[in-house]
Chain A
């Protein structure tokens, strides 16, 4: 069951294309994230759903009803704004009561019960009488969310709601949002440019770039099987190699020539021999070996350590490959039985990864 559906939606402002032919279906009760760099059109998409803006082309359905042309107050969706947009002259209670008072559908006592329940849910009972400027950033954030969900919208739109919070608070709010979403069962459409946030919170991620949808999938799908270089580059770190297809073997294996090594890779697309492809490998899948650790270097690449960056849980080793003078990044986790994590600059090493862990994409000319 789709709560929101967009069909062929395009938007342009001052003859400048912002969204191009967007097709998207949002399922009931899911946590959907629109992820993309700033300027990719994700906020515009949100505004089109909320009614703050109208598309130049296409249809937007909420509960199977075309809402294009319907003003925001007649759509059963609410927005949590990036700036929170709390009413500065009203108390927390009045801010939260605003939507209910506008609709005039609920009785006074019911309204009060609902507001009290929401206040409890977002842990703000003590602050009912405060004005927004008397609250911390995280508290304001929770008022903004409470103000929207108290009206029980079909869909809650969240426009980068956590971007102005500091790291620790953001982590807490991520968990809290997820908890609220599960508890309420309301569909969330969440906009962010933070890939980590998107991966950890979403049921599905919509990766956007340049006004187009690049890929829709679960966090795992978009991370492990990116459909394009843009997606791979935007979500997580990735090492990209150019390779040439040698042959397509029977067991869904693609044999490629990668830096003059013949390797078998996992593959989802069909490729013709001689075709150029990109081979992608995540840094955490790459292993680095010291000279003394290696006996058989037939499936390894030689290189020299350019830099080793200590990151607490991992060490990122940047290795310049001898074959093509490009760098490859490897993230190595600390292991009790592996004390070889201290690398010297310029130290010759071997780099390898398990065959089949890479992603092969059609060649893109940039």
Chain B
């Protein structure tokens, strides 16, 4: 018992130290940095300023926030619409088929997502595979200009992040007691009511987990907008990357980072509040 306790404490301390050193400390440094001036690359409180934030709110940079939220939101929604039915069907399969289908979802992870995003260029570009097929089938008469648009970015993000939606939702649906569905049907509920009133609320934790896992990277991944969106599509991820690596404006980059973190925290809090107040689930 004593040994177990010691093992438990050491494990926890190790992880806490790790997180404190490599996650909490950098985060604090970024927050500090965001209040300093451009001239002092080292975090210091001697020259405290809100200029970086003022700059963000008053300029076109703020538009990037809006656009990023919009794109990340659409990506999450698309992943949900594509992933949920798939997860539902897979969860109801027998184990052998199910394992193969889950394997197919995971296989793309075996290749770097960067490489796969380059592969998307080959498919989406003007003389790419997609356009060739559509043209030869006579569906379109002029090649579609998808590459280097927001659509390409959304497509790339959905493609890369879909498994992060499918897996938590699948686990949740697998745990759903199917007898509850039978009971609802037995009590006179048609499929729509059964889905909205029973299946959806009971798989909400999976949906939320999946949405968070998709939404957060969708806001911050910088190479996919870079590769598929071209220079035209600047999202938060690219913006931060630019400030740190190209413009060497660390305070501004830090301010954007901090704001992003705040938005994400706010979203999680809103979700938390929602589930708390949703306890009374009456409907008429």
Contact = CB atoms under 8 A, between A and B. Distances in A.
Interface of A: 50-52, 71-73, 78-79, 81, 83, 85-91, 94, 98-99, 101-103, 108, 147-148, 151
B281 A102 contact: no
Given A81-B183, A85-B182, A87-B180, A103 B202 contact: no
B282 interface: yes
B121 to A, nearest CB: 45
Contacts of A103: 188
Contact of B189 (A50, A73, A85, A147): A73
Contacts, number: 64
A85 B190 contact: no
Contact of A73 (B177, B186, B283): B186
Contacts of B135: none
Contact of A85 (B179, B197, B201, B281): B179
B186 A94 contact: no
5 contacts: A51-B186, A98-B197, A101-B284, A102-B193, A148-B187
B189 A79 contact: no
Q: How large is the interface on B (under 10, 10 to 19, 20 to 34, 35 or more residues)?
A: 20 to 34
The interface centre, meaning the residue of A51, A71, A86, A102 with most chain B CB atoms within 10 A of its CB, is A102
Nearest to A131: B279
B184 interface: yes
Contacts of B201: 89
Given A83-B179, A101-B284, A102-B193, A71 B186 contact: no
B188 A73 contact: yes
B263 to A, nearest CB: 29
B208 to A, nearest CB: 14
The interface centre, meaning the residue of B183, B201, B280 with most chain A CB atoms within 10 A of its CB, is B183
Given A51-B186, A83-B179, A94-B281, 12 more contacts: A52-B182, A52-B185, A79-B186, A86-B183, A94-B282, A98-B187, A98-B197, A102-B188, A102-B189, A102-B193, A148-B187, A151-B187
B182 A73 contact: no
B198 interface: yes
A50 B187 contact: no
A151 B184 CA distance: 13
A91 B280 CA distance: 8
A-B pairs, 6 with minimum CB distance: A85-B183, A99-B187, A102-B188, A85-B179, A102-B189, A72-B185
Interface of B: 177, 179-180, 182-190, 193, 197-198, 201-202, 280-284
The interface centre, meaning the residue of A51, A94, A98 with most chain B CB atoms within 10 A of its CB, is A98
Contacts of A78: 186-187
A224 to B, nearest CB: 37
A162 B193 CA distance: 29
Given A89-B201, A94-B281, A50 B180 contact: no
Nearest to A77: B186
Contacts of B283: 101
Contact of B281 (A72, A90, A99): A90
A98 B177 contact: no
A147 B183 CA distance: 10
Contacts of B189: 73, 98, 102
A81 B187 contact: no
A52 B186 contact: yes
Contacts of A151: 187-188
B186 A72 contact: yes
Contacts of B281: 89-91, 94
B179 A73 contact: no
Contacts of A71: 185
Contacts of A148: 187
B167 to A, nearest CB: 23
Contacts of A52: 182, 185-186
A85 B187 CA distance: 11
The interface centre, meaning the residue of B187, B190, B201 with most chain A CB atoms within 10 A of its CB, is B187
Contacts of A72: 182, 185-186
Given A73-B190, A102-B187, A151-B187, A85 B177 contact: yes
Contacts of B182: 52, 72, 81, 85
B207 to A, nearest CB: 14
A87 B188 contact: no
Contact of A81 (B179, B190, B282, B284): B179
A90 B202 CA distance: 10
Given A87-B198, A108-B284, A99 B188 contact: yes
